[in-house]
Amino acid sequence: MATILGIESSCDETAAAVVVDGHDVRSSIIASQVDLHRKYGGVVPEIASRAHIEKFDAVIAEAMDLAEVSPGDIDAIAVTTSPGLIGSLLIGVTAAKTLSWYWNKPLVAVDHVLAHVCSPAIDGGPGIWPAVALVVSGGHSSLYRVDDFNAIERLGQTIDDAAGEAFDKVATILNLRYPGGPEIDRLAKRGDAGAVAFPRTMLGRESLDFSFSGLKTAVLYHVNGPGKTSGGLEKLNEQQIAHIAASFQEAVVDVLVRKTMRALDRTGYDNVALSGGVAANSRLRAKMEAACADRGASLYAAKLAYCMDNAAMIAALGERMFRQGQIVTLELDASARC
C-alpha cells in the first residue's frame, strides 16, 4: 500500500491529488483555467503555462492539506509527462522534480492517456480487467484492449478529429460557449436526436478507427447551406439549434457505441471501461449502458470527477507503476507526443 502525490498539467487544468493504494482518493484538487481561455474559444498554450506556474503551489498545498498528509507520508510523486502541451507539461514536471529532490521521494512518469484508460478502475477496482477501454477526450478517441494496468494495446484511434474536438468545433458553429461538449449535452436534451440524419462514419466493416471531421463539416453545411461556412445560424431558432445539437450528439454517440461493441466482438471480452472528458456525456453513458446490458456486458464508466483532466487518475496509475518499480530519475523530461 503506497501513498502517492499526483501532479497533472498537460493542458488547461492545474491538478494535484493524494491517492492511497491506487483507489482511495484522499484529495483531488483541480484548478480549471477555462475562464482564462473562453474568450479565445480554445486553450492558448502560453496563457496555460503561465497559469500553471501561478497555481501549482496552492493546488499542491491544498491537496496535501485536504488529505491530511505531510511530506513524510508520501511514498512517491507521480507526474504526467506526455502527451500534451509541452509548455504546460514542463511546469508540472518541474514542480514534481523539485518536490522529489527536496523531499527525497521517488518519481514516477505517467502517460496521460493511459491514466484516462485506467481511471474507471479507481472505483471499479482491478477486477474490471480484462476490458475494452474507450477513451474519448479533447485530444484522443481511442479503443484499447486492457488485460491489466501494464498490458494495454491500442486497437483503434481517430484518423482526424477527436470526439471532444468535434463537440467543441460544432459548438463553435452553433455559437455556444467554450468548452462546447457540456453545452451540447445540455442543449441536446431539448432537441430531437432524429431530426437531422447526420452521417455515421464507420470506415469499413472491420475498422476500430474513428473519423469525425466529415460529421463536423456536415453540421457546418446543414447550418449554412451546401458549401457555405457562415451566414446560416441567424436564420435558425433555438429549437432548430437544439435539434441540430441532439442529432450531432446522437451521430457521435452511435459511432462510439457501435465501435466499442465491435471491439467486444473482436476481443471476446465482457467489460467496457469508459473514460475521458467526453465520457461525461449523458447520452453516451446511457447508450453505452444500454448496449452493454443488451449483450450481458458490464460498463465501468469513470466517475464524473475523473472524466475531465485530474490528478487522481495520475496518482492511481502511478501507484501501480511505483509498486512495480517503475521509478525515473531527475533527468526526466516531458514530451508533447505519446
Cβ-based burial of 238 (10 A; exposed 0-12, middle 13-18, buried ≥19)? exposed
Helix (H, G, I), strand (E, B) or coil at 217: helix
- 252 torsion bin: left (phi>0), alpha (psi -120 to 50), beta (else): alpha
Tell me: does residue 309 bind Zn ion (CB under 5 A). yes
Kindly tell me which of 137 and 267 has the beta carbon lying closer to ligand KG4: 137
**Residue 181 binds which one of ligand KG4, Zn ion, none, with CB within 5 to 8 A depending on kind?**
ligand KG4
Q: The C-alpha cell of 198 is what?
A: 447526420
Which residues contact ligand KG4 by CB under 6 A? 11, 137-139, 164, 167-168, 179-182, 185, 276-278, 280-281, 308-309
Stretches 85-93, 132-140, 148-156, 185-193: which one binds Zn ion (CB under 5 A)? 132-140
In the complex, what is the shortest distance from the CB of residue 155 to Zn ion, in angstroms, rounded to a whole number?
Answer: 19
Kindly tell me which of 83 and 106 has the beta carbon lying closer to ligand KG4: 83
In the complex, what is the shortest distance from the CB of residue 287 to ligand KG4, in angstroms, rounded to a whole number?
Answer: 13
Which single residue is written with the C-alpha cell 463537440? 167
Tell me: does residue 137 bind Zn ion (CB under 5 A). yes
In the complex, what is the shortest distance from the CB of residue 279 to ligand KG4, in angstroms, rounded to a whole number?
Answer: 8
Instruction: Specify the pairing of strand 24-32 against strand 76-82.
Output: unpaired
**Residue 183 binds which one of ligand KG4, Zn ion, none, with CB within 5 to 8 A depending on kind?**
none
Stretches 29-37, 88-96, 134-142, 213-221: which one binds Zn ion (CB under 5 A)? 134-142
CB atoms within 10 A of CB 141: 30
Maximum distance among all alpha carbons in the chain? 64
**Residue 87 binds which one of Zn ion, ligand KG4, none, with CB within 5 to 8 A depending on kind?**
none
Stretches 162-170, 206-214, 238-246, 302-310: which one binds Zn ion (CB under 5 A)? 302-310
Q: Between helices 213-224 and 238-267, what is the axis angle to 10°? A: 160
**Residue 185 binds which one of Zn ion, ligand KG4, none, with CB within 5 to 8 A depending on kind?**
ligand KG4
Instruction: Specify the pairing of strand 24-32 against strand 13-20.
Output: antiparallel
In the complex, what is the shortest distance from the CB of residue 280 to ligand KG4, in angstroms, rounded to a whole number?
Answer: 4
Tell me: does residue 13 bind Zn ion (CB under 5 A). no
User: What residues contact 23, with CB distance under 8 A and at least 6 apart?
Assistant: 121, 122, 123, 125, 316
Phi, psi values for residue 80, rounded to 5°: -70, 125
By CB under 5 A, name the binding residues for Zn ion. 137, 309
